[in-house]
Amino acid sequence: MLKGKHIILGITGGIAAYKAAMLARLLVKAGAEVQPIMTPSAREFITPLTLSTLTGKPVITEFFTANTGEWHSHVDLGLWADAMVIAPATACTLAKMACGVADNMLVTTYLSARCPVFAAPAMDLDMWAHPTTARNIAALKGDGVAIIEPAAGELASHLTGKGRMEEPEKIAATLADYFRKGTQLSGKKVLITAGPTHEMIDPVRFIGNYSSGKMGFALAEECAARGAEVVLVTGPVALKSNSDRIRRVDVVSACDMLAACEKEFEDCDMAILCAAVADYRPEVKADKKLKREGREELDLRLVRNPDIAATLGAKKGDRLLVGFALETDSEHENALRKIKNKNLDWIVLNSLRDPEAGFGKDTNKVTILSASGKEEAFPAKSKREVAADIIDSVFGKGIN
Ligand code: CTP
């Protein structure tokens, strides 16, 4: 899977830097082209000569080469790479990445990279456990960086705990797995709904809900990263999608969303219905702004909105249909009822009783249930990781 792939290997200044030589060797042996970028302090731990000999490429550290005045373009490097892996990633570099402190070639290239980025942290156990590091890791996960968790064991400080960089073999296997997954959904068209719907009362007011769209956008990014062609039908949200495999269709109301979905569903292989669709809309939308004068009370008559999931479920044929259920009580019972009523294959259940789940959060905690009786509960994770769990559940972890 790594043959011919362009990989930037970022090395930062920690004792685990010596393991980067092994990682470089493994990647090169698997057929990848590896470009090492070292931070200045990484060069204190391992010589650039080792890395350049193993990879056959000059190691880059500075923006300019002294004497020749040659400029290393972080933008070109970012475009060249199919993947970037930072191993070891120190607490300092992780913090710089999380905040965009582009004061060296490595972080600048990270900010320019359009490819997926992996980071294998390595540090002492207290640094790993520090709330600052936890915050930076959460921010990076939210930005789509895949964190290859450190292992537990004896550390360079002779303390024992979590913080040891994962073994080079496992890091190389994670990269190979990523490239394998990159083709898992190729040739498939996936329809995803996201965000809230706004049901207009008059030209300036609406009935809506707190959905941010983050879960649906994370699902769209994940499906696109696995090679799918994605149509993202989204209600009003303040989010952007990055992949050119995602075609975005903006809608406002539930009726607009249904119309867009029915059109796109025809040639889809799968639909994931993540939107928080308003169940009711005002029967009449006033043409002009409703005035307060002369009105002590205002009655709004609401009528039922169409159920998009059920409408698609009724004509799904052999397409896969995945729904969501955000519940406050009787969670399982409600989720199973929704599978049946809407003719879903899978449902992703989250409960508002879990503090890590719910609208606007960067994390989610879900249980995934299938119509055939499968069930798996996951711990709280970033929404991108939850998206990966959902796709793994539906398509199986054995890729291709
Ligand atoms: N859904 C939909 N169209 C609607 C309402 C819901 O497509 N009008 C979809 C949601 O996107 C989600 C699933 O159906 O995938 C369940 O949504 P939810 O709001 O939890 O269920 P409802 O059927 O509206 O039931 P209730 O609000 O009574 O819990």
Q: So what's the pLDDT on residue 102?
A: 92
Decide whether any atom of ligand 1 lies within 6 Å of the 279 Cβ: yes
Give distance in angstroms: CA of 326 to centre of ligand 1.
9
Residue in 67, 104, 209, 334 annotated catalytic: 209
- pLDDT tens digits along 266-279: 999 999 999 999 99
Highest-confidence range of 57-71, 104-118, 357-371, by mean pLDDT? 104-118
Decide whether any atom of ligand 1 lies within 6 Å of the 234 Cβ: no
225-232: average pLDDT: 94
**Domain locations in the chain?**
6-181, 189-395
The answer to whether 400 is a known catalytic residue is no
3-class secondary structure, 255:
helix
* Upper half-sphere CA count for residue 233 (Cβ side, 13 Å): 28
Give distance in angstroms: CA of 306 to centre of ligand 1.
10
Q: Whose CA is nearest to atom 19 of ligand 1?
A: 276
Matching residue, tokens 């320019």: 112
Decide whether any atom of ligand 1 lies within 6 Å of the 325 Cβ: yes
Decide whether any atom of ligand 1 lies within 6 Å of the 268 Cβ: no
| Domain 189-395: homologous superfamily in CATH | CoaB-like (3.40.50.10300)
Give distance in angstroms: CA of 308 to centre of ligand 1.
8
At 4, the amino acid letter reads G
Q: Which two tokens stand for residue 169?
A: 């073999």
| Runs of H (alpha helix) within the chain | 17-29, 42-45, 48-55, 74-80, 91-99, 105-112, 125-129, 131-142, 168-181, 214-225, 254-265, 308-314, 331-342, 383-395
Q: So what's the pLDDT on residue 110?
A: 96
Decide whether any atom of ligand 1 lies within 6 Å of the 307 Cβ: yes
161-166: average pLDDT: 93
Residue 84: pLDDT above 80?
A: yes
- pLDDT tens digits along 116-137: 899 999 999 999 999 999 999 9
65-73: average pLDDT: 69
- Is-same-fold flag (6-181; 189-395)? yes
102-126: average pLDDT: 94
340-365: average pLDDT: 86
Give distance in angstroms: CA of 234 to centre of ligand 1.
15
High-pLDDT (> 90) share of the chain, %: 77
Q: How far apart (Å, rounded) are the C-alpha atoms in residues 63 and 108? A: 9
Q: So what's the pLDDT on residue 351?
A: 82
Residue 162's contacts (CB-CB under 8 Å, 6 or more residues apart) are 125, 128, 129, 150, 151, 152
Decide whether any atom of ligand 1 lies within 6 Å of the 253 Cβ: no
pLDDT averaged over the chain?
92
Residue 306: pLDDT above 70?
A: yes
Give distance in angstroms: CA of 275 to centre of ligand 1.
8
- Ligand 1 atom nearest to CA at 312: 7
Residue 67: pLDDT above 70?
A: no
Q: How far apart (Å, rounded) are the C-alpha atoms in residues 269 and 188? A: 6
Residue 350's beta-bridge partner residues?
326
Decide whether any atom of ligand 1 lies within 6 Å of the 323 Cβ: yes
Q: So what's the pLDDT on residue 359?
A: 74
Q: How far apart (Å, rounded) are the C-alpha atoms in residues 368 and 210? A: 23
312-323: average pLDDT: 96
The answer to which of 51-60, 151-160, 203-212 has the lowest mean pLDDT is 151-160
- pLDDT tens digits along 8-26: 999 999 999 999 999 999 9
Q: So what's the pLDDT on residue 399?
A: 34
Highest-confidence range of 1-10, 156-165, 180-189, by mean pLDDT? 1-10
Q: Which two tokens stand for residue 117?
A: 């980025």
Residue 259: pLDDT above 90?
A: yes
Question: What's the CATH fold of domain 6-181?
Answer: Rossmann fold (3.40.50)
